[in-house]
Amino acid sequence: MQISDISIRTTLQPGDTGYIIHRHGKLYHQEYGYGREFEAYVAEGLAEFLKGYKPSVERVWICEDRDTIVGFLMLLQRDETTAQLRYFYLEPAYRGMGLGNKLMRLFMDFLVQRGYQHAYLWTTHEQEAAAALYRKHGFVLTEEKTSTAFGKALTEMRYDLIVVRGH
C-alpha cells in the first residue's frame, strides 16, 4: 500500500466520531495500556467538538483506505487566534509511509489560511514518534505534568507553536 492509495476527507459523516472513539480506545489500550478513562476523554472531547463545530475555522482530516478509516486529525478552535490539535492517530499498518507528515502539513496550512497565531496540543511521554513529528513542524515542549488520567501513571506533555506565515 502507498500513501496515494489513501483518501483524505474533511467532512464528518454519521458514525465517524463513534468509530474514532472506538479505535482510540482499542489502539491506545493495546499499544500503551490506557484504560477506559482515555476512551471517555476522547468521547468528551469529540462531543465538545461536534456540539460547537464551526467548519469555517475548525477542521477534521479523516484518512480512508477503501472506505475504512485508518487515520484522523482534528483542529479545534480555542479562541480567535488559538487552535488545538487533537486526536491524531494512524492505524499501525499506515505508519511510516509519510501519512502523518502529510496530515501535519494539512494542519499547518489550515492554521495559516485561517489566520491562527498560536496552536497547542497535549500528548504523553510514550508518544515519541508523534512528538518528533510535532517538533519537526515547529512545536516546542512547554509543560510537563505527571498524571493518572488514562488509568496509568504517565507524563502529559504540552507542545506549543507560534504560527509563522509561510511555515
Instruction: List pLDDT tens digits, range 83-122.
Output: 999 999 999 999 999 999 999 999 999 999 999 999 999 9
For residues 124 and 154, the answer to whether their CB atoms sit within 8 Å is yes
Residue 96 resides in a domain: yes
For residues 79 and 155, what is the distance between their CA atoms, to the nearest angstrom? 26
What is the pTM for the complete model shown?
Answer: 0.93
Is 17 contained in some domain?
Answer: yes
Question: Which residues form the domain of 15?
Answer: 3-116
> pLDDT tens-digit profile of 1-46?
788 889 999 999 999 999 999 999 999 999 999 999 999 999 999 9
Give the pLDDT band of residue 164 (cuts 50, 70, 90).
confident
CATH number of the domain to which 80 belongs:
3.40.630.30
Q: Are 62 and 70 in contact (CB under 8 A)?
A: no
Number of domain units in the chain: 1
DSSP state letter for 51 = H
State the pLDDT at residue 150: 93
Considering the domain boundaries, does residue 146 fall inside one?
A: no
CB 70 within 8 A of CB 91: yes
32 is a domain residue = yes
Q: Does residue 141 lie within any of the structural domains?
A: no
